[in-house]
Amino acid sequence: MLRKTIILLLFFTITACGPGKKRRTYSKTRTVTVEGSKTDTSPKLNSKKEGRKNAKANAVISTAMTFSGTRYKYGGTTKKGMDCSGLVYVSLKEHDIMFPRTSYQMALEGQNIRVNNVQKGDLLYFKTSKTAKRINHVGLVVDVKGDDIKFIHATTSRGVLVSSLREGYWNSAFVKAMRIL
């Protein structure tokens, strides 16, 4: 029984959030673009509510960024080790936003949005395996400039870091974007 448990934990560790060390190639390419980049980079706030949303998103992003460089640990939620959903969960919880703990459960919450409408604080969901039947990775959008969407997440190989949705691997693994703030 102990041997089966160890094998099961090893399997989850290997297949958890993010790409492994081996490179994957995909024959089908998909390009994600963000339309409507304006020269005026200052956000136009139509209401106080939008301003509060923006401030909340910046606060959540700031919390997530404090974990940058933290090593990957399956099920982790501390500076000693963290997984992708743990990063999002802790960052939201720090600002009194209650949210599910796992990426596939997180993907059921919020409002679906098109990738060209993504804003700071939105969540991006991925399937990081060709055989994955459900979402198994999540990232928090930290910046949108033109067609470049940057998000913070935790990968098994590099820990907590900021990546771009324009990167081939993440672009092809992308499933959907959700707004929660």
* Phi, then psi, of 143 in degrees rounded to 5: -160, 145
Residue 153 annotated to the active site: yes
What strands lie across the sheet with 123-126, from one edge to the other?
111-113, 174-179, 123-126, 137-145, 148-155, 159-164
Query: How far is Cα 78 from Cα 90, in angstroms, rounded to an integer?
Result: 8
Assigned domain for 143 exists: yes
Whether residue 166 has pLDDT greater than 70: yes
Assigned domain for 27 exists: no
Assigned domain for 181 exists: yes
Report residue 56 as tokens.
């909340």
Q: Considering 73, 120, 127, 137, which one is annotated as catalytic?
A: 137
CA distances from 39 to 58, 64, 112, 145 (A): 21, 28, 27, 11
Q: What is the pLDDT of residue 162?
A: 97
Q: Looking at residues 12-29, what average pLDDT do you find?
A: 48
Assigned domain for 21 exists: no
What does the mean pLDDT of the chain come to?
83
Residue-wise pLDDT tens digits, 108-127: 999 999 999 999 999 999 99
**CA atoms in the 13 A half-sphere facing the CB of 97:** 19
Tally the domains of the chain.
1
Q: What is the pLDDT of residue 17?
A: 60
Assigned domain for 54 exists: no
Residue-wise pLDDT tens digits, 32-84: 444 443 334 444 445 666 677 789 999 999 999 999 999 999 999 999 999 99
Whether residue 178 has pLDDT greater than 90: yes
Q: What is the pLDDT of residue 8?
A: 60
**What is the CB neighbour count within 10 angstroms for residue 165?**
24
Domain containing 92 — which CATH number? Answer: 3.90.1720.10
Q: Considering 32, 84, 140, 149, which one is annotated as catalytic?
A: 84
Q: Considering 153, 155, 177, 181, which one is annotated as catalytic?
A: 153
Assigned domain for 56 exists: no
Q: What is the pLDDT of residue 14?
A: 55
Whether residue 25 has pLDDT greater than 50: no
List the domain range (segments joined by +) for residue 181: 69-181
